[in-house]
Amino acid sequence: MTAPAQYPIGTPGKAWGSVEKSTWLSRQIRLRSYADEVLARIELLRARFDVTQYGLIEYGDERFPLLAVRSRDWRDELPCVLVTGGVHGYETSGVHGALQFVEQRAADYAGRVNLLVAPCISPWAYERIHRWNADAIDPNRSFREGSPAQESAALMQLVAPLRDRFLVHVDLHETTDTDESEFGPALAARDGKEFEPHGIPDGFYVVGDDEDPQPEFQQAIIAAVAKVTHIAPADAKGEIIGSKVVGNGIINYALRNLGLCGSVTKARYRTTTEVYPDSPRATPEQCNAAQVAAVCAAIDFALARGG
Ligand SMILES: [Zn+2]
């Protein structure tokens, strides 16, 4: 074992200040276009869905409109379903899976549920293929009152009027090799802590809520996704990324305490998907299809159980 290399920014044991954060920011490079890859695709949905702008992310002279897609036949008596992608901008299949769900499968649920889809919550990070926003904040630890992340605050505001009316919320994520090669070490350096790797699981898994885990619901999603891509096995300790595996491909987190997007509604059925795009056994198409399968399985399960 060699000692892990020190993260190139900051002093070990000391949390970053503004100088370290601007050094970090200066190293972030724009690698893809939110306008071309996300907004252009949402524009095409306007023919069949209601598209609304729910916020505007501003960093320096950059502007990113935040768009949400809604069922056109919205009816107040129907249960609501929230699908969120790109809370972590680098997790590509979260964004493209949400868009693919709307394009290919949303029509199947017309007249049965009201759909609200926010496909790319953190667009600056989408373009940089990064986990944090430009303020070196993880939006997916920031879903709380007085959020320090404008991305999280905007989604909370969008959801607020409907918060009690959601039956389902699926938050689409990925676990990637860069979580341990870059983002984990960067987080530890930012907070002046030591980085502790857990290993990256090879396969798909879901994260339920410690406070209301809904194991049958999670299992139904795993069963549907297993037809598309392989499910992550538990490691030698019976864990996935440091959490106890409670069912095939299922772990639970304290969503609300951690300020995770999965706690943004009071939906009875909520889950966070984790696709593994770096697997030699998974293509980008499979990753997107796995996200779509997870969303459909979640809605199907909830509808079968009744609101
Ligand atoms: Zn994520």
What is the chain's mean pLDDT, rounded? Answer: 96
| Centre of ligand 1 from the C-alpha of residue 198, in Å | 16
Share of the chain above pLDDT 70, in %: 98
* pLDDT tens string 214-268: 999 999 999 999 999 999 999 999 999 999 999 999 999 999 999 999 999 999 9
| Centre of ligand 1 from the C-alpha of residue 91, in Å | 6
Q: What pLDDT is recorded for position 1?
A: 45
| Centre of ligand 1 from the C-alpha of residue 300, in Å | 24
Rounded distance between C-alpha atoms, residue 87 and residue 163, angstroms: 18
Q: What pLDDT is recorded for position 306?
A: 76
Q: What pLDDT is recorded for position 6?
A: 82
Is 3 a residue whose pLDDT tops 80? no
| Centre of ligand 1 from the C-alpha of residue 43, in Å | 25
| Centre of ligand 1 from the C-alpha of residue 73, in Å | 31
Q: What pLDDT is recorded for position 114?
A: 98
220-244 in b/e form (b: 16+ CB < 10 A) is bbbebbbebbbbbebeeeeebbebe
SS3 assignment, position 12: coil
Contact 161, 178 (CB under 8 A): no
* pLDDT tens string 185-221: 999 999 999 999 999 999 999 999 999 999 999 999 9
* pLDDT tens string 109-150: 999 999 999 999 999 999 999 999 999 999 999 999 999 999
Q: Does pTM surpass 0.85?
A: yes
Rounded distance between C-alpha atoms, residue 160 and residue 34, angstroms: 26
Contact 86, 121 (CB under 8 A): yes
| Centre of ligand 1 from the C-alpha of residue 237, in Å | 23
Contact 90, 182 (CB under 8 A): no
